[in-house]
Structure 1
């Protein structure tokens, strides 16, 4: 069972997300919150696998992410918001968000994203990935520092990091590269160690900064 928190100051949004997720028998909504403080407290009180958080709710969603990372490190915080600008996305990921989705995400994609986050895969909306790449390209941030961090990777690890940067799951990476999921998992563990990334989302951002996505 995947235990989920929905945090948004709009009651209609919370209801809509609940109705979508309740179509999956393996997902259970254990708490709702209408501000950052309530979201953090819910993660302290309940065992929550995935917390879906709005950015602009009272108390600030990014602040909630950082507090959840401190007090409930097993909870994977995923932003679900209408705001996909690069500075906001980067701030959320640096605060500890495990993923970033936009509110126009379809029902099936939302359910899949919750399942992937619970399984340990990062979830980045395709639009968000493109914006990060475009911004870093315009600002000249796809270069030296990031390139240095991936310099020691093997060709196979670079291929996996590139696909990870596009938001693919382990199974999808394995299918594209004709590898087993176990092999992909082992490579990703090595990539995180070699690049000094603490999680897959940071590795995905590094892939973008290093220019692996073109």
Structure 2
């Protein structure tokens, strides 16, 4: 059972999200909150497996709430956002969010995003890749550094990075590559160090921008 904490300042939006998620037999909404400032306390009280959080809220917004939650070693966060603010998207990546889904997404996409993030994977809605990559190009190392960083990766690390970029969790990567999950975790840690990436989302953005994988059409 996937335990979900919903965070959105609009009660009607929370109700709609809750209705979608509660329709699934493997998902349980354990709590709802309307302010990002309540997230850390709610997580401690209800122990969710994933937090589904609006990025724009009065008071403490979703980016700052995600940063606080990750600093407290909390569960992964799936950010709900709109298409038109790439600065907010990149801020959420930097804060440590593991999932990025549009508020206009289909119910099926939202459910898949929650399942993927709860399983330890990373989810990026296909239409958000462009804005995230544009922000990445402006904010991170220039293109000339890509070859050096790619050359530092072993063949196995490249395999892991490609699967990670498709949203696979550590266990799913282990199953695909016939490895122990602990071995995959070691490869992931090596990737982060060699790429200068702070988390899975940053590594995945690098993989797309370096051409290791292509967005699905």
| Structures share fold, TM-score greater than 0.5 | yes
- Per the alignment, residue 97 of structure 1 pairs with 97
CA distance in 1: counterparts of 2:202 and 2:97, whole angstroms: 10
Give the TM-score taking structure 1 as reference length: 0.82
**Residues 142 and 208 of structure 1 are in contact (CA less than 8 Å); yes or no, is this contact kept in structure 2?**
no
**Residues 136 and 142 of structure 1 are in contact (CA less than 8 Å); yes or no, is this contact kept in structure 2?**
no
Q: What are the superposed Cα offsets for residues 70-110 of structure 1, whole Å, 9 maximum, x if unpaired?
A: 22x24111101224533211111111111111111211111
Is 2:189 the partner of 1:192? yes
Per-residue deviation, 1:22 = 0.6
Q: CA RMSD in A?
A: 2.8
Give the TM-score taking structure 2 as reference length: 0.81
Per-residue deviation, 1:129 = 1.6
**Residues 20 and 107 of structure 1 are in contact (CA less than 8 Å); yes or no, is this contact kept in structure 2?**
yes
- Per the alignment, residue 180 of structure 1 pairs with 176
- Per the alignment, residue 169 of structure 1 pairs with 168
Q: Which runs of 5 or more residues in structure 2 are unaligned? A: none
Change (3 A) 1:126 1:39: same
Per-residue deviation, 1:43 = 1.4
**Residues 86 and 135 of structure 2 are in contact (CA less than 8 Å); yes or no, is this contact kept in structure 1?**
yes
- Per the alignment, residue 61 of structure 1 pairs with 62
Change (3 A) 1:211 1:134: farther
Q: Which runs of 5 or more residues in structure 1 are unaligned? A: none
Give the paired residue count: 207
